[in-house]
């Protein structure tokens, strides 16, 4: 949800009371030419950098140097910059460049805290020595240090350049300043004749410290495509924004914004910002680059030949993609990830910024949301209708109208007079509730939260030092300074049952508007000259505000349960590291086919950059989807990591039973697919929690050498086993589907085998979208449907064994209590299933533990389905129980009506927690 356009204070007042719908207007947001630091940076030419490295040495285990300018003058001296290069385990390099503190700059430049893990810092390798080498054409030496057994880092002194290369060769992986575009605007004291103010529309930015931007070029070698830097509603593979034959384009903007009905296929910035880019090429090699900087950033992707007239002769002839990074403030704090595989790059990045949190089981199921369910009677009726129509769901959401006058942590006493009783009724069915809590606090002296925040001095200040006062849903509002850890602790305490009166253990939280959104602010956000802890300007940390708000809320829910239960918090704004605190969604999308299509590259990009738990509003937040679009969105959304339907209050009601019996059946079936696959999804969430590898993946992550997959952003993998292709056009009769790899794929509805490595023209029915199980994999399922995931906990499992050409397959199942942190102490079941040479074996993967309180389960496997089995045997033996079972034909799914028959081992009766072997005789 977001604000409409605001042109006056009068309209703001009308807005708060009536909340009408307007469409987004591009002119209300700055472009690069209206953003001075971006315009200045883009005007620079290759080779403009005049810096060179001197005084290079090893200090405290780092390579250090001072960077001097060749353009020094007595009248306008330029202070040297300080460079440090650090090396960490797993081949990760960190490069920092900042002002020299001994030159007494007017202030200390902001460095983003609380993102890099302390555990990562402990993995630093203390460099012992450097070697020198003269690169062809250079007048002086370059310094080389160890990075890993396969890679080394190079500091080229003059011209200044930093790069990673393969050891013992000139073949590069990543480089910075190869094109000489590095620029660092140092802080200085204002001259009397200078005007540092910047103006946009009716807003003035005072800029007390003047220009302080940084820009540089980064090159990715042996690269054919680059990805990442969310959040943008555009193609998965990032398109060039500058260069010959490139359509004139804005750079990709990273600036957290509350954007109303955002457009698809645009580089415009949205709600979150992660300055992490990944490259991939035909060689199958992958690399990554991350800039830890929370100020506004603009990034150009350069097209081939962009610098053809520069006269620069680069030392490497390798194919590469050049990019240009520009930021308004901060320091250079960058990380180079060498991979070389896609999964290794993601592992390396999440080793720096954190692994995704492990969600509670209920959160991985289906969520029902609307702005707003009107009152307790509406909640009760919606809940009952799901049961009446045999549609499972786990979470019902309440938007801002449930509060008392937009005062968070309160309830409207007329509409929601009995919140605890309402939640307990849902909890009796194993269901949960989520309420919204936003960062804007209503400036009302009778509101206890505002009164306390004011007295304690917890609000962000304006440029004059007073509590910042902006407009949002409640009207006049102030915003807690979440950069301050003491204030985050204070905020977390508000989720206690004593403070959040009416909340229960089954209530969880939704953080919206946390960019932060300010209706009357410049570009609908907080002014850049607002002040945070330590007089840090908002411009320096804007993109991290929502991250800290998400962090504080999640920590508050953990504290609420005395550390026993995992939190669930959905956030709209995000930054690097947000994966540690919960889920995000793609914001205020629209009910049209293009928005359905763009949801896939948006979710894939989030997964590549650490945020595995993400989704898009099913059906589109704005507008009224036609029935076919809504059904197709449910069919695709069932495979999103975060599966939630949501709609604006001006839209028609669209619960799944409102569109006729046939369409209810189709949406019910889509939701049933998700519940059937919950064991597989939960296993994937645990994999993400331990490795960083996303739940939903681009095809090339599983098939890194298959060039056909590199630009495909209409299909994706769920884990390593399921291929999904959305349907993105009306009345589609056929779909062109490329199935990668050399092995067969099995249709998940029929079990039919389809050949890999070619593009198929498949007939499309209204019943489902194309989804296939990969040969050589085993998927755990639960085929009995209950009201909620909580009520499925003790149900038996089905294993779907999709055999490859060697009649082999393997897969995993992870189970814990679905709720607590006990799994971190080993309280879980983790099994690997391997089918080979006619037998299926269950092997324990869980670490051994001396703890007495281990997790246990009496769940059994009731069916084993064999897809692609070519044997003729009719019976099996089960060891060590010394039992027998029969092989017969049975349904692919347990439900009424006719369906395909597949080879099935019925009632083997083995427990999921045990070692066993099922051998075909």
pLDDT in tens, 370-423: 999 999 999 999 999 999 999 999 999 999 999 999 999 999 999 999 999 999
Is 801:840 a contact under the CB 8 Å cutoff?
Answer: yes
Percentages helix, strand, coil for the chain (3-state, rounded to 5) are 20, 30, 50
Bridge-partner residues for 629, per DSSP? none
pLDDT at 138: 83
Residue identified by tokens 């989720």 is 495
Q: Please state the rounded mean pLDDT for residues 681-704.
A: 98
Beta-carbon-side half-sphere exposure of residue 581 (alpha carbons within 13 Å): 29
- Mean pLDDT lowest for which of 214-223, 245-254, 620-629? 245-254
Block residue for tokens 């680069």: 314
Torsion sign across C-alpha atoms 386, 631, 627, 617: positive
Contacts of 379 (CB under 8 A, 6+ apart): 373, 396, 398, 422, 426
Furthest CA-CA distance within the chain: 93
Q: What is the pLDDT of residue 7?
A: 35
DSSP bridge pairs for 69: 51
User: Please, which pLDDT band fits residue 78 given cuts at 50, 70 and 90?
Assistant: confident
Annotated catalytic residue within 217, 394, 515, 687: 515
pLDDT on residue 897:
54
512: annotated active-site residue: yes
Query: pLDDT grade, residue 21 (50/70/90)?
Result: very low
Q: Which residue has the tokens 């059937």?
A: 676
Ramachandran sector of residue 430 (left: φ over 0; alpha: ψ -120 to 50; beta: rest) = left
Query: For the chain, where do the domains classified as CATH 3.20.20.80 start and end?
Result: 362-694
Residue 10 has pLDDT above 70, yes or no: no
Q: Residues 433-485: pLDDT tens digits?
A: 999 999 999 999 999 999 999 999 999 999 999 999 999 999 999 999 999 99
- Cα separation, 34 vs 36, in Å, equals 6
Residue 693: alpha-carbon gap to chain centroid: 12
Q: What is the pLDDT of residue 74?
A: 58
Q: How many angstroms separate the CA atoms of 181 and 312, rounded?
A: 12
Name the residue among 313, 178, 324 with its Cα closest to residue 243.
324
What's the rounded Cα separation, in Å, for the pair 6 and 524?
A: 9
Residue 9, pLDDT above cutoff 70: no
- Residue entry with tokens 């939260």: 449
Burial class from Cβ neighbours inside 10 Å (0-12, 13-18, 19+) for residue 596 reads: buried
Q: What is the pLDDT of residue 795?
A: 98
Question: Do the Cβ atoms of 226 and 279 come closer than 8 Å?
Answer: yes
Three-state SS at 343: helix
pLDDT in tens, 474-507: 999 999 999 999 999 999 999 999 999 999 999 9
Look at residue 898 in the predicted model and tell me its pLDDT: 65
pLDDT for 162-209, tens place per residue? 999 999 898 999 999 999 999 999 998 888 888 899 999 989 999 999
The per-residue pLDDT for 852 is 56
CATH of domain 34-229+274-353: 2.60.40.1760
Instruction: Identify the architecture of domain 362-694 in CATH.
Output: Alpha-Beta Barrel (3.20)
- Half-sphere exposure in the Cβ direction for 626 (13 Å, CA): 7
- Residue 4 pLDDT class (50, 70, 90 cuts): very low
Residue 14 has pLDDT above 70, yes or no: no
Query: What percentage of the chain exceeds 70 in pLDDT?
Result: 96
Give the mean pLDDT of 731-748.
97
What pLDDT is stored for residue 6 in this prediction?
39
All CATH 2.60.40.1760 domain ranges in the chain, comma separated: 34-229+274-353
Bridge pairing between strands 643-645 and 366-368: parallel
Quickly state the pLDDT bin for 12 (edges 50, 70, 90): very low
Query: Scanning the structure block, which residue is given the tokens 């009952």?
Result: 384
**Residue 859: alpha-carbon gap to chain centroid:** 33
From CA 554, how far away is CA 566, in angstroms rounded? Answer: 9
Query: DSSP string spanning 536-549?
Result: EEHHHHGGGHHHHH
What pLDDT, on a 0 to 100 scale, did the predictor assign at position 17?
Answer: 37
CA distance 886 to 75: 92
For the stretch 878-921, pLDDT in tens is 999 899 999 999 999 987 556 789 999 999 999 999 999 999 99
Strand pairing partners for 299? 252, 325
pLDDT recorded at residue 18: 36
pLDDT the model gives residue 5: 42
CA atoms within 13 A on the CB side of 566: 24
For residue 255, give the nearest of 293, 219, 289 by alpha carbon. 293
Measured distance CA(336)–CA(477) in Å, rounded: 41
Exposed (0-12), middle (13-18) or buried (19+): which is 427, by Cβ within 10 Å? middle
Beta strands in 149-272 (DSSP E): 151-156, 161-166, 172-176, 183-184, 198-200, 203-205, 214-221, 225-228, 252-254
Q: Where in the chain is the domain with CATH 2.60.40.1180?
A: 700-920
How far is it, in rounded angstroms, from Cα 310 to Cα 217? 14
At residue 582, the 3 state secondary structure works out as coil
Pick the catalytic residue from 261, 394, 523, 588: 588
pLDDT at 75 over 70: no
Gap between the Cα atoms of 173 and 166, Å rounded: 7
Q: Per-residue confidence at 313, pLDDT binned at 50, 70, 90? A: low
pLDDT at 695: 98
Mean pLDDT on 635-649: 98
Within a 10 A sphere around the Cβ of 189, how many other Cβ atoms?
9
Which pLDDT does position 3 carry in this prediction? 45
CA angle 103, 109, 113 (to 5 degrees): 135
- What is the rounded distance in angstroms from the CA atom of residue 131 to the CA atom of residue 134? 10
Catalytic residue among 205, 258, 401, 512: 512
Give the CATH architecture of domain 700-920: Sandwich (2.60)
pLDDT at 671: 98
Question: For residue 314, what pLDDT band results from cuts at 50, 70 and 90?
Answer: low
* Residue 194 annotated among the catalytic residues of the structure: no
Q: What is the rounded CA–CA span in Å between residue 210 and residue 15?
A: 35
- Tens of pLDDT, residues 749-771: 999 999 999 999 999 999 999 99
Tell me whether residue 77 is exposed, middle or buried, using C-beta atoms within 10 angstroms of its C-beta: 0 to 12, 13 to 18, 19 or more.
exposed
- pLDDT digit string, tens, across residues 514-565: 999 999 999 999 999 999 999 999 999 999 999 999 999 999 999 999 999 9
What is d(CA 717, CA 604) in angstroms, rounded to the nearest whole number?
Answer: 10
């Amino acid at each position: 949800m977001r604000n409409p356009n605001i042109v006056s204070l009068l309209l703001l007042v009308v807005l708060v009371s009536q909340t009408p719908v307007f469409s987004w207007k591009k002119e209300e947001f700055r472009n690069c030419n209206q953003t001075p630091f971006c315009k200045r940076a883009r005007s620079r030419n290759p080779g403009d950098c005049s810096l060179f490295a001197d005084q290079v040495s090893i200090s405290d285990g780092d390579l250090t140097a001072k960077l001097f300018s060749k353009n020094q003058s007595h009248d306008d001296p330029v202070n040297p910059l300080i460079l440090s290069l650090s090396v960490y385990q797993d081949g990760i390099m960190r490069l920092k460049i900042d002002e020299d503190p001994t030159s007494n700059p007017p202030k200390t430049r902001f460095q983003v805290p609380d993102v890099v893990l302390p555990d990562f810092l402990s993995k630093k390798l203390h460099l012992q020595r450097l070697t020198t080498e003269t690169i062809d054409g250079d007048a002086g030496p370059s310094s080389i240090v160890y990075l890993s057994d396969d890679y080394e880092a190079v500091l080229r002194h003059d011209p200044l350049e930093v790069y990673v290369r393969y050891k013992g060769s000139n073949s590069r992986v990543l480089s910075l300043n190869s094109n000489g575009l590095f620029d660092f605007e140092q802080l200085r004291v204002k001259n009397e004749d200078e005007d540092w103010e910047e103006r946009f529309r009716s807003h003035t930015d005072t800029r007390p410290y003047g220009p302080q931007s940084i820009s540089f070029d980064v090159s990715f070698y042996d690269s054919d495509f680059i990805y990442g830097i969310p959040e943008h509603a555009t193609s998965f593979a990032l398109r060039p924004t500058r260069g010959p034959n490139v359509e004139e384009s804005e750079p990709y903007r990273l600036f957290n914004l509350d954007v109303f009905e955002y457009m698809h296929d645009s580089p415009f910035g949205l709600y979150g910002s992660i300055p992490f880019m990944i490259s991939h090429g035909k060689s199958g090699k992958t690399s990554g680059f991350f800039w830890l900087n929370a100020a506004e950033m603009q990034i150009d992707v350069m097209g081939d030949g962009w610098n053809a007239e520069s006269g620069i002769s680069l030392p490497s002839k390798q194919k590469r993609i050049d990019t240009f990074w520009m930021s308004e403030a901060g320091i250079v704090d960058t990380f180079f990830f060498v991979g070389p595989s896609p999964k290794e790059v993601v592992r390396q990045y999440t080793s720096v910024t954190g692994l995704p949190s492990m969600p509670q089981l209920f959160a991985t199921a289906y969520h029902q949301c609307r702005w707003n369910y009107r009152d307790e009677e509406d909640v009760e009726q919606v809940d009952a209708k799901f049961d009446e129509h045999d549609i499972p769901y786990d979470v019902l959401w309440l938007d801002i109208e449930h509060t008392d006058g937009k005062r968070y942590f309160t309830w409207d006493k007329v509409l929601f007079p009995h919140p605890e009783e309402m939640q307990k009724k849902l909890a009796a069915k194993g269901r949960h509730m989520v309420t919204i809590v936003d960062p804007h606090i209503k400036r009302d002296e009778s509101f206890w939260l505002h009164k306390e925040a004011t007295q304690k001095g917890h609000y962000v200040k304006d440029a004059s030092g007073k509590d910042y006062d902006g407009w949002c849903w409640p009207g006049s509002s102030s915003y807690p300074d979440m950069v301050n850890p003491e204030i985050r602790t204070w905020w977390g305490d508000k989720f206690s049952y004593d403070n959040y009166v009416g909340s229960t253990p089954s209530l969880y939280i939704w953080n919206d508007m946390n960019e932060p959104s300010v209706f009357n602010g410049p570009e609908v956000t907080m002014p850049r000259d607002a002040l945070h802890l330590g007089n840090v300007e908002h411009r320096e940390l804007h993109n991290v505000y929502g991250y800290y708000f998400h962090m504080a809320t999640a920590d508050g829910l953990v504290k609420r349960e005395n550390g026993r239960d995992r939190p669930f918090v959905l956030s709209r704004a995000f930054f690097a590291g947000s994966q540690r605190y919960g889920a995000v969604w793609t914001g205020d999308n629209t009910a049209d086919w293009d928005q359905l299509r763009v949801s896939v590259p948006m979710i894939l990009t989030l997964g590549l950059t650490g945020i595995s738990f993400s989704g898009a509003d099913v059906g589109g937040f704005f507008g009224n989807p036609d029935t076919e679009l809504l059904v197709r969105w449910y069919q695709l959304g069932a495979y999103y990591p975060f599966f939630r339907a949501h709609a604006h209050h001006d839209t028609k009601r669209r619960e799944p039973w409102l569109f006729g019996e046939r369409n209810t059946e189709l949406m019910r079936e889509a939701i049933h697919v998700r519940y059937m696959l919950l064991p597989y999804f939960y296993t994937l969430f645990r994999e993400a929690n331990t490795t960083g590898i996303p739940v939903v993946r681009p095809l090339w992550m599983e098939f890194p050498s298959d060039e056909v997959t590199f630009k495909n952003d209409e299909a994706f993998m769920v884990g390593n086993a399921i291929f999904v292709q959305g349907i993105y056009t009306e009345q589609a009769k056929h779909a062109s589907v490329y199935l990668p790899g050399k092995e067969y794929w099995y249709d998940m509805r029929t079990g039919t085998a389809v050949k890999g490595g070619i593009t198929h023209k498949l007939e499309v029915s209204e019943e489902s979208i194309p989804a296939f199980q990969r040969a050589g994999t085993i998927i755990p399922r639960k085929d009995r449907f209950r009201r909620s995931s909580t009520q499925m906990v003790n149900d038996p499992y089905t294993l779907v064994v999709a055999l490859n050409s060697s009649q082999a397959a393997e897969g995993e199942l992870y189970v814990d209590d679905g709720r607590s942190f006990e799994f971190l102490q080993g309280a879980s079941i983790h099994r690997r299933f391997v089918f080979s040479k006619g037998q299926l074996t269950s092997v324990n993967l869980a670490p051994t533990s001396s703890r007495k309180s281990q997790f246990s389960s009496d769940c059994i496997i009731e069916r084993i389905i064999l897809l692609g089995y070519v044997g003729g045997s009719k019976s099996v033996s089960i060891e060590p129980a010394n039992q027998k079972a029969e092989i017969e034909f049975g349904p692919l799914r347990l439900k009424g009506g006719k369906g395909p028959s597949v080879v099935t081992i019925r009632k083997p009766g083995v427990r999921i927690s045990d070692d066993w072997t099922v051998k075909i005789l």
